[in-house]
């Protein structure tokens, strides 16, 4: 364990916890921040809160935290427990194994959890004080996540099933070959070749062990939950423990990669029959887009889920749907709500559903009745996520642009007052300084209003001049809210570079109405780029901004934006940096994994010469404007990025050097669309910060 103790640190609870963790285990880090300077190493010393659950008697909360070691280049997940008011917070597991996904069972006397102690990820149980670990499952594969049925007589879990195309007559005597074959599309997804896909299994539990399991999708190439981000939230038990509602897109290959049409299926564990509740006979609403994340109401009468309307549009409005399970009538609760529902949970009475949604750069909690009476119940410059009920109270994580996640309890009966339960990284944040963050509104070229978050360094003096950096968001339908990220930590960039960072919620960002979000599709080089120019030009009018020291950075679509601006910026910027960006849209159309995305957002294939919308999209590909590049550019890309292949970043770098422009290329052979490993991340920050400081702080 990497532990650095300040000589002035005499907190007895810290010392007690250190003594409880073996030296070989990666645990909580108590670092001293030199001169209060925020560094990449400081960021990786922070604990990251994961899942959590309240005990049946509502007196305790069990939760996970992941800790990382830059030196060992790996992480370790532990389970912690505290009283429901946040007191008596203590470490529950201290082994060298990863222990996660804790869930209360046996009326709160035991905690079930996942552990790799047996060499694979299996379900275990322990006493509520952390003693007497016992393995419950002995499945032949890793278990990714699980849920006990309400009566605890069955376990629903996710594990991998074979997907890959591998003709046995060709491979039979070649056990050491690394060759992979494909005979249809969707052979790769996000960061890997699809050798397996997740399937939902259920098994009997006799109180001592999990018995023989049944694969609900046995013999198919379908997936549930949906790759790449879906988890156990896409499946649930009915209240009587007899049915399983699960999310599935029953398509494979080319059909899969062209469609976002997933549905909710209700599977009967006794008869092994199922129905698709999204496409019932005679129902005029066939739910043609994404449908996912089902949840039964506490009374068992209703099923709620998230639903999109249009097939192929992955960023369509996410609506909150409810079905009366007796009448099979369904309706949206949020048709009049002009932004997406991110997640939701039922309250204990079924009368209310709480959900989160972004509006004007903040993710807040809202409540709705079954008659669609929607009210915002939280406020402030924060983001909330991870809704869970604790009796009549709400458990949730909260963070901001300058605060990492902590757990909070919200009491609806007490005017939705917040009580902070954890202080996971308080000992580090107490040593750091952050500048102010404020919203800034700017007029656009078409007479609308653009909202940006502006972050200032902690040493900000309005009488001095500072360099400023434009942050281009990815997605492209991803907004800049009060997010706390480890991949791109904006506070860290601001403090290391001592510059002002502006993050516009340009066209395409959610939280400003569906029209605003939709205006980016099929118009990548249009209004969204004018929004970026409007934001940075407006900021540059401030006396404390040095308009001769402006930078532009971004990832994914933000990388596209950076490459595009390099050919259109008209000497605005002194430096560019792009991470995993789109450089050549024609090549990217045939290289990417999810064809529905490029078909919707670009308007179709580049060879369709009669498609004026598609032709406009490809005419705005950044590679067409390399002849106008004139500014130093950093191109970062990763070998395992199958969303936007590494050739995109390498082509951009090569183009810059062939044009005689100063450029650098950073590539990670073992990272995907992001940089997730500790040492790779530290190097990423060092390279990015060095590049920006070299060209802006001169």
Pairing verdict, β 302-307 and 291-296: antiparallel
**CB within 8 Å of 450: residues ≥ 6 apart:** 441, 442, 443, 444, 504, 505, 506, 531, 534, 535
Q: Which is the catalytic residue, given 76, 263, 641, 695?
A: 641
What is the residue whose two structure tokens read 């070299």? 694
Structure tokens of 137?
């499952």
What is the residue whose two structure tokens read 């996971």? 424
Measured CA angle at 145 (ends 22, 195), to 5 deg: 105
- Asked if 115 and 99 touch (Cβ cutoff 8 Å), the reply is yes
Task: Examine the residue annotation and report whether 665 is marked as an active-site residue of this protein.
Answer: no
Task: Examine the residue annotation and report whether 531 is marked as an active-site residue of this protein.
Answer: no
Structure tokens of 153?
């007589």
- Cα 342 vs. chain centroid, distance in angstroms? 11
Task: Examine the residue annotation and report whether 673 is marked as an active-site residue of this protein.
Answer: yes
Q: What's the CA gap between 199 and 158, in Å, rounded?
A: 6
Q: What's the CA gap between 617 and 626, in Å, rounded?
A: 17
Beta-sheet strands, E only, within 333-420: 343-346, 352-359, 362-369, 374-376, 383-390, 393-400, 403-411, 417-420
Gyration radius from the chain CA atoms: 26
Q: Which is the catalytic residue, given 556, 617, 621, 681?
A: 556
Distances (CA, A) of 239 to 149, 236, 405: 8, 9, 31
- Asked if 184 and 252 touch (Cβ cutoff 8 Å), the reply is yes
- Write down the H helix ranges in 239-291: 253-257
Max CA distance (Å), the chain: 75
Q: What's the CA gap between 14 and 668, in Å, rounded?
A: 36
- Asked if 533 and 572 touch (Cβ cutoff 8 Å), the reply is yes
Q: What's the CA gap between 575 and 566, in Å, rounded?
A: 9
Q: What's the CA gap between 162 and 670, in Å, rounded?
A: 23
Active site residues: 556, 641, 673
């Amino acid at each position: 364990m990497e532990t650095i103790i300040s000589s002035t640190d005499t907190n007895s609870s810290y010392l007690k916890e250190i003594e409880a963790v073996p030296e070989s285990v990666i645990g909580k880090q108590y670092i001293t921040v030199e001169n209060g300077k925020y560094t990449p190493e400081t960021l990786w010393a922070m604990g990251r809160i994961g899942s959590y659950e309240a005990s049946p008697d509502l007196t305790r909360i069990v939760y996970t935290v992941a800790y990382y070691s830059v030196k060992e280049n790996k992480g370790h997940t532990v389970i912690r427990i505290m009283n429901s008011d946040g007191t008596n917070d203590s470490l529950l597991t201290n082994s060298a194994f990863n222990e996660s996904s804790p869930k209360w069972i046996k009326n709160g006397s035991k905690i079930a959890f996942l552990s790799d102690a047996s060499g694979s990820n299996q379900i275990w149980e322990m006493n509520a004080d952390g003693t007497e670990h016992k393995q419950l499952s002995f499945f032949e594969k890793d278990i990714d996540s699980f849920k006990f049925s309400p009566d605890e007589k069955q376990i629903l879990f996710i594990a991998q099933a074979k997907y890959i195309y591998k003709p046995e007559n060709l491979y039979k005597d070649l056990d050491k070959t690394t060759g992979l074959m494909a005979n249809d599309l969707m052979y790769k997804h996000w960061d890997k070749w699809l050798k397996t896909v997740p399937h939902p299994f259920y098994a009997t539990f006799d109180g001592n062990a999990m018995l023989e399991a049944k694969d609900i999708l046995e013999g198919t190439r379908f997936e549930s939950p949906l790759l790449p981000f879906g988890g156990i939230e896409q499946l649930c038990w009915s209240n009587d423990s007899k049915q399983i509602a699960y999310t599935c897109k029953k398509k494979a290959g080319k059909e899969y990669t062209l469609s976002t049409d997933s549905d909710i299926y209700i599977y009967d564990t006794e008869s092994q029959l199922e129905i698709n509740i999204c496409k019932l006979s005679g129902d005029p609403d066939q739910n043609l887009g994404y449908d996912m994340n089902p949840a039964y109401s506490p009374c068992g009468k209703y099923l709620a889920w998230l639903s999109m309307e249009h097939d192929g549009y992955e960023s369509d409005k996410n609506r909150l749907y409810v079905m009366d399970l007796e009448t099979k009538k369904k309706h949206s609760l949020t048709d009049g709500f002009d932004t997406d529902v991110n997640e939701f949970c039922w309250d204990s009475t079924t009368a209310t559903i709480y959900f989160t949604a972004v509006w004007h750069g903040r993710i807040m909690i809202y409540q709705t009745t079954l008659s669609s009476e929607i009210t915002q119940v939280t406020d402030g410059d924060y983001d909330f996520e991870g809704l869970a009920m604790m009796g009549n109270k709400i458990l949730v994580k909260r963070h901001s642009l300058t605060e990492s996640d902590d757990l909070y309890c919200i009491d609806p009966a007490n005017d939705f007052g917040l009580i902070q339960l954890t202080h996971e990284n308080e000992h580090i944040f107490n040593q750091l300084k952050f500048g102010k963050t404020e919203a800034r509104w700017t007029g656009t070229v078409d007479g609308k209003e653009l909202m940006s978050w502006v972050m200032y360094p902690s040493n900000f003096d309005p009488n001095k001049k500072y360099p400023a950096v434009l942050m281009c968001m990815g997605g492209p339908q991803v907004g800049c809210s009060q997010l706390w990220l480890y991949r791109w930590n904006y506070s860290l960039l601001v403090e290391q570079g001592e510059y002002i960072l502006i993050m516009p919620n340009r066209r395409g960002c959610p939280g400003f109405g569906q029209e605003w979000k939709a205006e980016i599709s099929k118009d990548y080089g249009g209004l969204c780029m004018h929004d970026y120019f409007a934001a940075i030009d407006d900021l540059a009018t401030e006396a404390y901004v040095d308009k001769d020291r402006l930078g532009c950075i971004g990832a994914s679509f933000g990388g596209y934006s950076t490459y595009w601006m390099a050919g259109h910026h008209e000497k605005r910027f002194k430096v560019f940096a792009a991470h995993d960006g789109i450089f050549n849209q024609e090549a990217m159309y045939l290289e990417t994994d999810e064809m529905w995305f490029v078909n919707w957002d670009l308007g179709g294939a580049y060879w369709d010469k009669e498609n004026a919308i598609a032709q406009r999209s490809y005419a705005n590909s950044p590679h067409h404007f390399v002849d106008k590049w004139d500014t130093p550019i950093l191109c970062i890309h990763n070998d395992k990025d199958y969303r936007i292949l590494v050739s995109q970043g390498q082509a951009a770098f090569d183009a810059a050097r062939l044009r005689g422009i100063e450029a650098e290329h950073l590539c990670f052979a073992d990272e995907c669309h992001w940089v997730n490993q500790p040492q790779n991340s530290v190097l990423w920050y060092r390279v990015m910060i060095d590049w920006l400081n070299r060209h802006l702080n001169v």
